[in-house]
Amino acid sequence: MLQGMTAHYLSHSTYPLGPGDRCLVHAAAGGVGLLLVQMAKRLGAYVIGTAGSEEKAALARDAGADAVILYRQQDFVVETRALTGGAGLNVVYDSVGATTFLGGLDLLAPRGTMVLFGASSGAVPPLDPQLLNQKGSLFLTRPTLGHYILTRAELLQRAGDVLAWLEDGWLRVRIDRALPLADAGAAHEALAGRQTSGKVLLVPGAG
């Protein structure tokens, strides 16, 4: 529910995607990433993803990504410019933070939106707002789910959409692994080390 509703507010509210929009989804094979790619494609966007391995790139493509950049082997800024013909992106969805943030700003079209919703590589350094002006009157937001489910009605609407899409079958959740609750430490290490693609489940009483 956490990741499903996060992908929902990112694609439907923070920057409401529509046909013809160009977006970049960092960590496209992650838990939020795979769901966000599916929602973005359903809304008609052209989706570029980044991933750390060929295996993860395949998962992102299977979720609907139009193109996937292997960030360990390729410069995502150079590759994205080539994919868009230099036109620029409408929005960047960045859950990585320190190592991708400034490059993402360079990829946005004038009045584009940078959505920073995580920091898996570390916190972004302090930013002079004038930089947003210099790069094209850009928008910058640092959203969190709590502010997108402020009312009971909004919570039910987002959760209802996600659950209905799962029931319909077009939204798919990938289970990466299931571990006994006693192995919670190993689960955290796998997540921190970017060794997972999709969901990690902790199962009480297993093992």
Q: What is the CATH number of the domain that holds 61?
A: 3.40.50.720
Q: Work out the pLDDT band at 141, boundaries 50, 70, 90.
A: very high
Q: Is the pLDDT of residue 191 over 80?
A: no
Q: How many domains in the chain?
A: 2
Q: Say which amino acid occupies 24.
A: L
Question: 8-62: per-residue pLDDT in tens?
Answer: 999 999 999 999 999 999 999 999 999 999 999 999 999 999 999 999 999 999 9
What token pair was written down for 184? Answer: 């919670």
Whether 131 maps to a domain, the answer reads: yes
Can you give the pLDDT at residue 190?
A: 74
Query: Could you tell me if 84 and 182 lie in one domain?
Result: no
117 lies in which domain range? 2-147
- List Cβ<8 Å contacts ≥24 apart for 166-173: 166/4, 170/38, 170/42, 171/4, 171/35, 171/38, 171/39, 172/34, 172/38, 172/63, 173/4, 173/34, 173/35, 173/198, 173/199
Per-residue H/E/C for 22-66? EEEECCCCCHHHHHHHHHHHHCCCEEEEEECCHHHHHHHHHHCCC
Query: Could you tell me if 192 and 139 lie in one domain?
Result: no
Can you give the pLDDT at residue 205?
A: 76
Contact 111, 138 (CB under 8 A): yes
Question: 66-109: per-residue pLDDT in tens?
Answer: 999 999 999 999 999 999 999 999 999 999 999 999 999 999 99
Query: Could you tell me if 39 and 139 lie in one domain?
Result: yes
Question: 156-174: per-residue pLDDT in tens?
Answer: 999 999 999 999 999 999 8
